[in-house]
Amino acid sequence: MARVAIVTGGTRGIGEAISLALKDMGMTVAANYAGNEEKARAFTDRTGIAAYKWDVGDYDACQEGCAKVAADLGPVDVVVNNAGVTRDGTILKMSREMWEDVIRINLGGCFNMAKAVFPGMRERKWGRIVNIGSINGQAGQYGQVNYAAAKSGIHGFTKALAQEGARAGVTVNAIAPGYIDTDMVAAVPADVLEKIVAKIPVGRLGQASEIARGVAFLCSEEGGFVTGSTLSINGGQHMY
């Protein structure tokens, strides 16, 4: 029987690439989304992957959403916590709401989703959780104290949860993407983007498919000896 996977923020950008990669592995994929229903329908029509709407920053919504996926598709074996938002601004201009939105969704979403699926994974003695961090959670970024804090928190969350799942066959890993050629990066002004690319040793932005391949390995049977790790896919921009 095919493994069942949920990819949060799974209908666009990096999330869409991950959803497709897991489907190509033979998994039954549910793509979570929070916003545009029209785009989600177009995604399902294009890919054949079912889309489910809920806010990952809402604890109860995650419980209900994961239960709905399990009822429709079967017990959830794989979760990729990819959903995230930005509310950029220097701390002098950042409101409490901008801080809380990013922490609630980007970091809180990882906790909410893990709470919903981790008990079942432990009982079945198999599970894969992959959390999408960021180069900016590793190195920091001007104007992103909220985003950098949330993504850095994801890396610590990953290492701690990995220790809880290891003996039960549940691996927990993170991927820290660098700058990837997505809509989010396309919104960056051209002159700023040029300076970013100049700092990437390989001399280009990454592709969403390159992140998806890393996720696919960590979610595979063959990835079972990798847990508590953060895989940096950033073109050499940040090495440590």
- Residue 240 covered by a domain: no
The confidence score (pLDDT) of residue 183 equals 81
Q: What is the pLDDT of residues 115-149, one digit of tens each?
A: 999 999 999 999 999 999 999 999 999 999 999 99
Residue 225 buriedness (CB in 10 A; 0-12 / 13-18 / 19+): exposed
Q: What is the pLDDT of residues 55-88, one digit of tens each?
A: 999 999 999 999 999 999 999 999 999 999 999 9
- Residue 239 covered by a domain: no
CA dist 33 and 15 (Å) reads 10
Catalytic sites, residue numbers: 147
Number of structural domains (the chain) is: 1
The confidence score (pLDDT) of residue 184 equals 75
Structure-block tokens of residue 103: 């922490």
- Residue 115 covered by a domain: yes
The confidence score (pLDDT) of residue 119 equals 98
CATH number assigned to the domain comprising residue 190? 3.40.50.720
What rounded mean pLDDT belongs to the chain?
Answer: 96
Please name the residue ranges forming H helices in 11-107. 13-24, 37-47, 59-73, 96-102
Which range marks the domain in which residue 158 is found? 4-233
Q: What is the pLDDT of residues 91-108, one digit of tens each?
A: 999 999 999 999 999 999
